[in-house]
Amino acid sequence: MQTKSSVHLPAPAEVVDPLRLLTKRVIIAVGVLVLTALLVYLDRDGYTDNSDGSVDLLDAFYYTTVSLSTTGYGDITPTSDSARLVNIVLITPLRVLFLIVLIGTTLETLTTRSREQVRLNRWRKKLRDHTVVIGYGVKGRSAVATMLANGMATDTLVVVDPDPAAIAEANEQGLVAVMGDATRTEVLRRAGVPAASRIVITTARDDASVLATLTCRQLNQTANIVVSVREADNLALVRQGGANEVVTSSDAVGRILGLATVSPALGHVLEDLTTSGVGLEVAERLVSPREEGKQPRQVADLVVAVVRDGDELPFHSPAIGHLVRGDRLIVIRPSEEYPWARREDAHEPPPADEPEDPADRPPGGV
């Protein structure tokens, strides 16, 4: 049975519980009713009941009910000047307030669906150059967390998953989510795949990853597609389907496990590098103006590779020579900023107190 495709937007920043809102309005309506009935009862001598001539508490509530609801049977009427003045000055405004509360509740119920459609249409109009994450399991959540930790905005991410629980979790994180089978063209179109600039595929099965890759590439010829597969045997097949980058999860995990067994310290370092927010991190950044003309080893961060004109050059490559404007550095750096390893903007001059000579850096500097 196929899961019906649907787009789920995250809740607005300020959302009111419908039940709470309805309860509040009911309390207001009851309060208006009781207040009006008490006003009538206190001035009961100014009213006439056609049945017995007198007005008691029950008659006051009866009159108030038919009056506020604009039914107006006419069997109880104000006869004195004071009673008529109270009707003009107090009861009529309370009647208007009562109707506003009732009509507001009705309109709120009727327009909720319309507002959601307006939000959806507005989201679709702004959907350009975004990132689509297919599969919000363990790998998908980790990929999203890493992208968010590296400065990607939540409104530029769209999650696709067939599991309602995963969709709800994505919405709680402030992400737009599309529920459905990612191997279906209709679902991918709803996620805006044709207009996406990046696509991450982390489905639980390799056959689904292959089919999702083929479908995504058919819908978008230019997007950068990164795919996770469990088995290395499927790597070539996914690349043939249009993936730009393929990560073999089983081989990667197995290698880390093996290295951690041989050297626990090495395992800790590798785990640290793949964890955001603490210890060390792997990052890509643009070379800064003051780093131009230097060798990679003279940079504050530990440079492991240089991306120049689309080519990836390892740190020891003689082709690097000196860093030039436009180079992008793959670096290992502390997750926190330190004086000897500042995360300066590539277009801004560094702080004056940053050491110029690597030999002047404090112990521990890279």
Q: Which CATH number does the domain housing residue 307 bear?
A: 3.30.70
pLDDT category, 71, cuts 50, 70, 90?
confident
The residue length of the chain stands at: 366
The residue among 125, 155, 182 that closes a domain is 125
Judgement on whether residues 80 and 143 belong to the same structural domain of the protein: no
CATH, residue 29: 1.10.287.70
The token pair that represents 120 in the structure block = 């959806």
Judgement on whether residues 137 and 247 belong to the same structural domain of the protein: yes
pLDDT category, 111, cuts 50, 70, 90?
low
The residue among 110, 125, 140 that closes a domain is 125
In one-letter notation, the amino acid at residue 349 is P
Judgement on whether residues 347 and 305 belong to the same structural domain of the protein: yes
pLDDT at 288 over 60: yes
Q: Percent of the chain having pLDDT more than 90?
A: 24
Among candidate residues 180, 242, 251, the one with its CA nearest the CA of residue 211: 242
What is the residue range of 180's domain? 131-252
Q: Can you give the pTM of this predicted structure?
A: 0.59
Number of domains in the chain: 3
| R_g of the chain computed on alpha carbons | 34
pLDDT at 89 over 90: no
Judgement on whether residues 319 and 354 belong to the same structural domain of the protein: yes
Judgement on whether residues 120 and 181 belong to the same structural domain of the protein: no
What kind and span of H or E run contains 264? helix 264-273
Q: Residue 214's pLDDT is what?
A: 94
**Is 218 inside any structural domain?**
yes
Q: Residue 88's pLDDT is what?
A: 84
**Is 88 inside any structural domain?**
yes
Q: Percent of the chain having pLDDT more than 70?
A: 83
pLDDT at 136 over 90: yes
Q: Residue 201's pLDDT is what?
A: 94
Q: Residue 199's pLDDT is what?
A: 95
**Is 73 inside any structural domain?**
yes
